[in-house]
Structure 1
Amino acid sequence: MTDRERTGTTTANTREWRDEEGWGVVDSPDTPGGCWVHFSHIDMPGYRALTPGQAVRLDWESPGQDGYDYRAVRVIP
């Protein structure tokens, strides 16, 4: 693992969610600039989506995706 390839677990708040595209961004002190989230990484039954302002438990990794330094690997609402 290089210095840029890191992982962690933290709590975060949902900044935005794009229902029609199935992804969004969550913010935490451990993921400055935001953490990219895909619906497939949300750990919940049924339709998987987040709501802006919603608190989540976040497992993340870097490097990120789509312009974000961090990418979620598991999100628990």
Structure 2
Amino acid sequence: MDAIIREWHADEGWGVIDSPDTPGGCWAHFSAAAAPAVFRPGQRVHLEWESPGQDGYPFRAIRFWPAGSPPRDRPPAAPGTAYSSSLSLSFDPPGGE
């Protein structure tokens, strides 16, 4: 669906996209962008959305990308490459010895 970016907060990674099928606005997060692009107000985009609502907006973007270009989703992470961490704690014996 064709849509237009109403506002985009690059420093926070989110914005609002308007289309005839999303009255009131569609909340969009940069993680739903299907292309490495810099988004700006007034820019035409293609939009795929759902309607659970997000942050006061009735719709949420599933995918969006600049109009006139194909979507390019991020490749899935290879198995075993997810972030992991560990923490070890040790305590002094009672009585400060």
Question: Is the radius of gyration larger for structure 1 or structure 2?
Answer: 2
SS at match of 1:50: coil
Show structure 1 runs of 4+ deviating over 6 A. Answer: none
Please report how far the alpha carbon of residue 50 of structure 1 lies from its aligned counterpart in structure 2 after TM superposition. 1.2
1:15 is matched with which residue?
6
Question: What RMSD, in angstroms, separates the aligned Cα atoms of the two structures?
Answer: 1.0
Correspondences of 1:34-53 after superposition (within 5 Å): 34-45=25-36, 48-53=37-42
SS at match of 2:31: helix
The answer to whether the Cα contact below 8 Å between 1:12 and 1:26 also exists between their aligned partners in 2 is yes
Unaligned runs of 5+ in 2: 67-97
- TM-score normalized with structure 2 length: 0.65
| 1:62 counterpart (28, 51, 66) | 51
Specify which structure has the bigger relative contact order, considering alpha-carbon pairs within 8 angstroms and separated by 6 or more residues: 1
- TM-score normalized with structure 1 length: 0.81
